[in-house]
Amino acid sequence: MVALKVELPRWKVLCVWTVSTLLGVVLFALVIFPLFIFDRGPWSYLVWSAAGALVGLLIGAVVGYSQRRVLPPHLGWAGGWTWATALGWALGGGLAVTMFGWLTGQNGGLVDRNALVMLGPLGSLGIGMGQWLLLRHHLQSAGLWIVATIGAWGAGAVITLILVALLPLIFSRDYTSGWGMWAILVPYLGIPGLLTGLLWRKLVGRANQPTTP
């Protein structure tokens, strides 16, 4: 077997981390959103929560595997990153979808855009917790990863809210259609993946030695 390099190029790690997160969220939304159109029965919240967790589990496994491929090979425990990310996405997906359903019900079928943007940081709480279950056995200050994950999604949310406020001044028509919508989605989905990729490198760099034998 050919030995792998100990460190992969930083740009490759960041690209994979950013793109996998962005595509994962887009795919999650495309699969989940139709449920809010067709399912309005008394068991809607339960159906939405279960669907969010299941879809999150499957997509999270793909995202986790993609990210696992660019983790330093000398971290033997990194093989568990796939299942940890899958679990995190299941938790985050269930939380975010449940909150989305609740907001929809509270607002007569409509959701305030500002509240919708904040679903990302809420979902990231579950993602960070799932990954923390693995990291806590191997890295010092692993709890910081939960804070970092929420902070990364929070940064994307803040920048998105700023764009939401500024775009009406730039676009004469509804900014939620056409290029205006992409101007909102790109930073909202891209920034969290980029920041968590950077923060991952910092965390592993600071605590490269396992805390347990």
List pLDDT tens digits, range 168-192. 666 555 555 555 555 566 667 778 8
pLDDT value of residue 6: 39
Confidence grade of residue 55 (pLDDT, cut at 50, 70, 90): very high
Closest by Cα among 38, 82, 80, 34 to 57: 82
Rounded Cα distance, 38 and 127, in Å: 27
Residue 147 has pLDDT above 70, yes or no: yes
pLDDT tens-digit map of 5-17: 435 457 777 788 8
pTM listed for this prediction = 0.80
**Residue 41: how many other CB atoms lie within 10 Å:** 9
* 73/98: higher pLDDT: 98
Tell me the CA distances in angstroms from 61 to 53, 66, 130, 173, 175, one per residue in order. Answer: 12, 9, 12, 39, 34
List Cβ neighbours of 57 (8 Å cut-off, separation of 6 or more): 86, 87, 89, 90, 93
Task: Kindly list the distances between the CA atom of residue 209 and the CA atoms of 77, 83, 206, in Å, as whole numbers in the listed order.
Answer: 11, 22, 9
Residue scoring higher pLDDT (207 or 38)? 38
Tokens (6 digits) for 9: 């190029």
* pLDDT at res. 212: 45
The residue-averaged pLDDT of 25-53 equals 77
- What CA dihedral angle connects 31, 53, 193 and 77, to 10 degrees? -130
Residue with the larger pLDDT of the pair 114 and 194: 194
Confidence of residue 2 (pLDDT cuts 50, 70, 90): very low
Top-ranked range on mean pLDDT: pick from 48-52, 59-63, 111-115: 59-63
Dump strand ranges (E) for the chain: none
User: What is the chain's length?
Assistant: 213
Helix runs in 39-80, H state only: 44-68
Give mean pLDDT, residues 110-124: 71
Residue 129 has pLDDT above 90, yes or no: yes
Q: Which of 118-127, 164-173, 188-197 has the lowest mean pLDDT?
A: 164-173
> What does the block give as tokens for 23?
């595509």
Distances 70 to 109, 156, 189 between C-alpha atoms, Å: 42, 23, 20
What the block records as the tokens of 171 is: 């676009």
Residue 204, pLDDT score: 66
The half-sphere exposure of 67 on its side-chain side, counting CA atoms within 13 A, is 31
Amino acid at 13: V
pLDDT digit string, tens, across residues 133-145 = 998 888 777 888 8
pLDDT value of residue 211: 43
